[in-house]
Amino acid sequence: MLNVHDLERRHKVYKLKVLLPYIVIFVSLVVILIVILFVNNSDMFKSNEVKHNQEIIQKHIEQTKHIVLEEVVEKNETLQAIPNKQELKEVKVDETIVLVPSLNFIANIKHSSTSSDVNYERVINKKDQTKEITKTEAKQKIALKPAKKEPEPVIIEEIELQRDNPLKIHRQNTDDDINHVIKRFSKNNNPALSLFIAKKYYEMQDYHQSYNYALITNRINDNIDSSWIIFAKSLVKLNRKQEAVETLKRYIEHSKSSQAKTLLEEIERGKFK
Amino acid sequence: MKIILLVLLAFSLHADIKQSMLNLYQNKKFEDACSIGFDNFKYHKQDEEFVSLYAFSCLHSDYIDRLAIPIAMLKFSAEARANSAYLSTILMQKKLLYHALVDSYDLSSLKLPTTDYVLSKVFDFYTKLGAHEKRDVYLFESKDDDKLTYKLYLSNDETLKKIVIEEFYDTIIIKKHIYW
């Protein structure tokens, strides 16, 4: 009787023996391919490639050098032929570079601020008041007799007197100062003096007078930034916002003043009232 | 919850300081804005808007030496880099002018960029003088406005010599700048 199991086992062994060389060849080919791919990507081969590339690039550079040298020689010849062009270039080089600050960050801060609707002047006034209070407190601590002259009563007097006669303000020092400066201005027509007067009147909230003196200053010298700004501010305070905007726009076109631009922006946004 | 509150508080304080500095700057209280910025600089040194505002406040209040740190910090945006270059030019011009006035250092061979700042204008006038004998006072007339003149001299303080630049408009002094 035939031993079937034994025959089957021997048949399998025989089949394996037949197929083994094919399998070995296939596996070795796959391994060789993988090794070749790996080695191609490795640094050793890369460096060789780089060397090869460098050689190519050097060849290119040498070729281009020759070309550039030829071009330079040609250019030199043409420059010698036309010396005026060279002089023009030198003149251009002599011009100094003017650096200009970039103040866009101010607008960014304005946009990013949460309390953007708050009037600046009010905030400052409040802060000034608190500062004054702290200062007076400090004075009280240092000296036993505090000076309570500064803060409020002056303003009240000023408002009352303005109602009666806007030209006469009974703050002794300022009034004397302004009269004295007006006399000096009438003698020599100095724009610095008229600007000073305009500023003082603006501080004293006499916007008609500040407008007048700023206008006079602008007529004498139309290149003074602060004079145009006082002029525009006075117009806004006199409820002539549109005129202020138009004036500022015209002035910005003429001078490109950053201060004027900021003021115009504030007026248009309604921050300056 | 406490952490969130603390973060919100810190954020509001941060915004508040920047806003108050801006208010002072816009009201031309440059010295106050500069001193607030100086006190709070370490908390906001990563904020380029804050650093720029601080730098320009100090520039307009003639605290030029305080610009050194903002110059180094302003580098992340194009605007910051432009301002850094602008400020560093002014700082360099101040140092060179001081060296020239005190030690008679010759600046005539220098060609630097210029700015619209008063120190740069005076620096340009001074360099254009070329090699010259030392003077006690220099007077320069503005090209744009005949009536505008600049007076440059050294003040002899007890400990330190200081550069003084006085701006005159038709013989009336408008502003006095002191640098050292």
Give the DSSP per-residue string, chain A: ---HHHHHHHHHHHHHHHHHHHHHHHHHHHHHHHHHHHHHHSHHHHHHHHHHHHHHHHHHHHHHHHHHHHHHHHHHHHHHH-HHHHHHHHHHHHSPPB-----HHHHHHHHH-TTTTS-HHHHHHHHHHHHHHHHHHHHHHHSSS----SSSHHHHHHHHHHHH-TT----HHHHHHHHHHHHHHHHH--HHHHHHHHHHHHHTT-HHHHHHHHHHHHHH-TT-HHHHHHHHHHHHHTT-HHHHHHHHHHHHHHH--HHHHHHHHHHHHT---
pLDDT at position A92 is 47
Chain A residues near residue B82 by CB distance under 8 angstroms: 99-102
Selecting from B86, B124, B170 the residue whose C-beta is nearest the C-beta of A192 gives B170
pLDDT at position B163 is 93
Distances (CA, A) of A36 to A30, A32, A42, A44, A45: 10, 6, 10, 13, 11
Chain B residues near residue A221 by CB distance under 8 angstroms: 145, 147
Minimal Cα–Cα distance from A139 to chain B, Å?
20
Question: What does the pLDDT average to over B126-141?
Answer: 88
Cα–Cα distance measured from residue A236 to residue A222, given in angstroms and rounded to the nearest whole number = 20
Question: What does the pLDDT average to over B119-146?
Answer: 88
What DSSP line would sit under B74-135, residue for residue?
--SSHHHHHHHHHHHHHHHHHHHHHHHHHH----TT----B-SSHHHHHHHHHHHH-S----
Minimal Cα–Cα distance from A130 to chain B, Å?
14
Cβ separation of A110 and B116 shorter than 8 Å? no
Per run of 10 residues, the mean pLDDT along chain A (length 273 residues) is 85 93 93 87 54 65 56 49 46 67 83 51 45 45 35 42 44 65 81 87 88 89 86 90 89 81 84 77
Q: Which of residues 87-146 of B touch A (CB under 8 A)?
A: 87, 89, 111-116, 124, 144-145
Q: What chain A residue is nearest to B89 in terms of C-alpha separation? A: A99
Chain B residues near residue A115 by CB distance under 8 angstroms: 19
User: What does the mean pLDDT of chain A come to?
Assistant: 70
Is pLDDT larger for residue B143 or for residue A132?
A: B143
Selecting from B25, B83, B147 the residue whose C-beta is nearest the C-beta of A102 gives B83
Chain B interface mutation, best of A102, A110, A271, highest count of B Cβ atoms under 10 Å: A102
Query: What pLDDT band is residue B93 in, cutting at 50, 70 and 90?
Result: very high
Asked if B48 has any chain A CB less than 8 Å from its own CB, the reply is yes
Interface pTM (ipTM) of the complex?
0.72
Chain B residues near residue A230 by CB distance under 8 angstroms: none
Selecting from A101, A109, A191 the residue whose C-beta is nearest the C-beta of B86 gives A101
Selecting from A100, A108, A190 the residue whose C-beta is nearest the C-beta of B49 gives A108
pLDDT at position A173 is 53
Q: What 3-state DSSP class applies to B45?
A: coil
Cβ separation of A106 and B25 shorter than 8 Å? yes
Cβ separation of A221 and B145 shorter than 8 Å? yes
Cβ separation of A113 and B24 shorter than 8 Å? no
pLDDT at position A266 is 83
Structure token digits, residue A157: 């007097």
Is pLDDT larger for residue A92 or for residue B28?
A: B28
Cα–Cα distance measured from residue B149 to residue B141, given in angstroms and rounded to the nearest whole number = 4
pLDDT at position A140 is 41
Per-residue pLDDT tens over the stretch B67-82: 999 999 999 999 999 9
pLDDT at position B169 is 83
